[in-house]
Amino acid sequence: MIRAYYTATAGAKAYQKNLDVIANNLSNVQTQGYKALKGEFSDLLYTNISRTGENLMVGSGSKLLKTDSIFSEGAFLETGKETDYAIVGDGFFAIQKGDEIFYTRNGAFSVAEIDDELYLTLDGGFVLNSNGEPINLSAESEELEEGYELEKIPGVTKFTNNFDLERVGDSLFAIINEDAEYEVAESPDLMVGYVESSNVEMVSELTNMIQAQRAFQFNSRIIQVADEIEQTINTLKG
Amino acid sequence: MSRGLFTLTSGMLTQQRKIEISSNNMANINTAGYKREQAVTNNFGTLLINKLRQNGIYETAEPLSEVSLIRIMEDNNTYHSQGNLDETGGSFDFALVGEGFFGINNNGTILYGRNGSFNLDDEGYLIFADKGRVQGEYGDIFIGTDKYEAAEDGSIYVDGEQIDKIAVYNFDNYANLDKFSEGLYTSTDEANLMEDAVIKKGWIERSNVDLAQEMSDIIASQRALQSNSQALKMYDMIMEIESNQIGRIN
């Protein structure tokens, strides 16, 4: 089979995966706290196709090399709920599920009653405050200033490098780099009654989608051309 | 065997190689920093055909004409023109405007490329995929965070303090660049550090592939290949007559 066949197939597969990334972004355009993903390509191995020792290096197509998150801020939506929080600027909320701690920008919390105590939760996990403890809304706490009860406010964790986090679904991130540096902000900058919406930009995603579709189309045209050539060669004799 | 048979085969092989190069260009339309390639065909030279004439006891050769030797495409050129700039907003994306290459330190050898889609490794250094660390003017670039600024000359500022400057290299002669992989080149020439490089953070340079050109090249090559194969079939018919019909009695 001629190389162009495999090259074009590799290219078509890469654009198909790119379309998967774009589709995921578009389907999460309303998800609170969602951060858009973008894909990057690279070309593949170059081999020498000359038979006489001359240097004729030809590539073998392209592949989707990696996907990176974009940590820009989404727009703030006013909900008016007292248990909805939005972080202004950088940082994540800490959610404890079992023994593990996850991080998220989604501040649409709910109140759950466990053992006659009211806890602030997100999706079954406890929201942690600045001291790293689950927030107990019905507990007694000392008033610090102007009715500002620090222990009942969600803590904001700021990472030196946001890319030490990886996505695990449900708008949650987990730390993948053991040497990740992070610190809990002393006075978190929060807005109550607001939620951060997703940072997906519809226009960019639609443009990327059109690009991916056209690139996919051209590569499948090459597959057709390669097929026709094989047919030509096949009918040379008989 | 007729010389023409091999000439036609070499014609078909050449067109096939041209299509292979064009299809790699098409597959890499969106690859960051990809430079398109173009096939170079050349004649290998000609062979003189002589007519041998018996002149008594001597044989003389009378030059008739020239026939071109087998030619198969043996070279391809890389066109280093500027690709389209795409704003991605990526925290570690850089695009070079104008000439130059980024330097990646791969175990001691410096690889050169224009793909500026970088990441931070676990220790906080700027890297390119799994190939190595991006070189600045003082060696490996340690950033450690994704909240930093970069000026247009490649200087990197963390908390207002300049920590390093991305090094951009240029060559006098691009012909000695050898392809490594994933858009990177190696070179035996000395690289010169560029003084006036322009780097944009948050942008990526897409490929410089011209779609219309590639499609028409592919169509032309495919048709040329088909014409060659038709002529090849005629040779086949002639040889069949030669081997089976001539000298046949009945």
Of A83-87, B14-18, B245-249, the range with the lowest mean pLDDT is B245-249
CA-based nearest residue to B101, from B30, B205, B15? B205
Question: How many residue contacts between A and B have a Cβ separation below 8 Å?
Answer: 173
3-state class of A40 per DSSP?
Answer: strand
- Please compute the mean of the pLDDT values over residues B212-237 and round it to a whole number: 91
**Closest chain A residue to B37 measured between Cα atoms?**
A58
Contact (CB<8Å) A163/B146: yes
**Closest chain B residue to A10 measured between Cα atoms?**
B27
- With a CB cutoff of 8 Å and minimum separation 6, the contacts of A163 are A68, A69, B91, B92, B119, B120, B146
**Closest chain A residue to B226 measured between Cα atoms?**
A232
Strands A85-87 vs A117-122: parallel, antiparallel or unpaired: unpaired
Q: Which H helix or E strand runs over B113?
A: strand B109-113
Q: How far is B162 from chain A (nearest CA, A)?
A: 17
Q: Which of residues 25-54 of B touch A (CB under 8 A)?
A: 26-32, 34, 37
Query: Which residues of chain B have a CB within 8 Å of the CB of A221?
Result: 215
Please provide the average confidence, as pLDDT, over all residues in chain B: 85
Q: Quick check: B78 and B177 in contact, CB under 8 A?
A: yes
The reported pTM is 0.81
Q: Which of A62, A68, A237 sits opposite B28 (nearest CB)?
A: A62
CB atoms within 10 A of CB A93: 24
Q: What angle do CA B139, B143, B146 make, to 5 degrees?
A: 150
| d(C-alpha A100, C-alpha A103), whole Å | 10
Residue-wise pLDDT for A173-212, tens only, equals 999 888 788 888 888 888 999 999 999 999 999 999 998 9
Contact (CB<8Å) B28/A59: yes
* Confidence (pLDDT) at A139: 66
| d(C-alpha B170, C-alpha B19), whole Å | 31
- Please compute the mean of the pLDDT values over residues B123-131 and round it to a whole number: 86
Contact (CB<8Å) A2/B16: yes
Query: Which residues of chain B have a CB within 8 Å of the CB of A62?
Result: 27-28, 30-31, 34
* Confidence (pLDDT) at A18: 93
β-partners of residue A38 are: A68
Binning pLDDT at 50, 70 and 90, where does residue B223 land? very high
3-state class of A48 per DSSP?
Answer: strand
| d(C-alpha B208, C-alpha B201), whole Å | 20
- Give A149: exposed, middle or buried? Use CB within 10 Å, 0-12, 13-18, 19+: middle
Query: Which residues of chain A have a CB within 8 Å of the CB of B90?
Result: 38, 68, 70
CA-based nearest residue to A72, from B119, B147, B85, B159? B147
Query: Which residues of chain A have a CB within 8 Å of the CB of B74?
Result: 50, 52, 54, 56
| d(C-alpha B183, C-alpha B207), whole Å | 11
- Please compute the mean of the pLDDT values over residues A162-178 and round it to a whole number: 87
Task: Indicate whether B46 pLDDT > 70.
Answer: no
Residue-wise pLDDT for A132-162, tens only, equals 888 887 766 555 554 456 677 888 999 888 8
- Please compute the mean of the pLDDT values over residues B31-53 and round it to a whole number: 74
- Please compute the mean of the pLDDT values over residues B44-72 and round it to a whole number: 68
β-partners of residue B199 are: B96
Check if B224 contacts A (Cβ < 8 Å).
no
Residue-wise pLDDT for A20-59, tens only, equals 999 999 999 999 889 999 988 888 878 887 777 677 788 8
CA distance to A77, A103, A159, A195, per residue, from A108 (Å): 11, 13, 21, 6
Residue-wise pLDDT for B143-190, tens only, equals 888 888 888 888 888 888 888 889 999 988 887 888 877 778 888 888
Contact (CB<8Å) A2/B124: no
Residue-wise pLDDT for A83-95, tens only, equals 899 999 889 999 9
Task: Indicate whether A213 pLDDT > 90.
Answer: yes
Which structure tokens are listed for B234? 């005629």
Which DSSP state fits B176? G
CA distance to A86, A109, B210, B235, per residue, from A63 (Å): 37, 40, 20, 42
Task: Indicate whether B192 pLDDT > 80.
Answer: yes
* Confidence (pLDDT) at B102: 92
| d(C-alpha B98, C-alpha B103), whole Å | 16
Contact (CB<8Å) A10/B211: no
* Confidence (pLDDT) at A154: 87
* Confidence (pLDDT) at A147: 47
Asked whether the ipTM of the predicted complex exceeds the cut of 0.90, the reply is no
Measured torsion, CA atoms of residues B16, B22, B25, B26, in degrees rounded to the nearest 10 = -100
Task: Indicate whether B47 pLDDT > 80.
Answer: no
Q: Which of B20, B75, B76 sits opposite A3 (nearest CB)?
A: B20
Which structure tokens are listed for B213? 């050109």
The string of DSSP codes covering B218-244 is: HHHHHHHHHHHHHHHHHHHHHHHIIII
Q: What angle do CA A73, A74, A80 make, to 5 degrees?
A: 120
Q: Quick check: A91 and A190 in contact, CB under 8 A?
A: no
**Closest chain B residue to A55 measured between Cα atoms?**
B75
Query: Which residues of chain A have a CB within 8 Å of the CB of B16?
Result: 2, 4, 229
* Confidence (pLDDT) at B242: 85
Query: Which residues of chain A have a CB within 8 Å of the CB of B218?
Result: 222, 225
Best probe of the A interface among B23, B30, B91, B142, by most A CBs < 10 A, is: B23
- With a CB cutoff of 8 Å and minimum separation 6, the contacts of A162 are A69, A71, A90, B91, B146
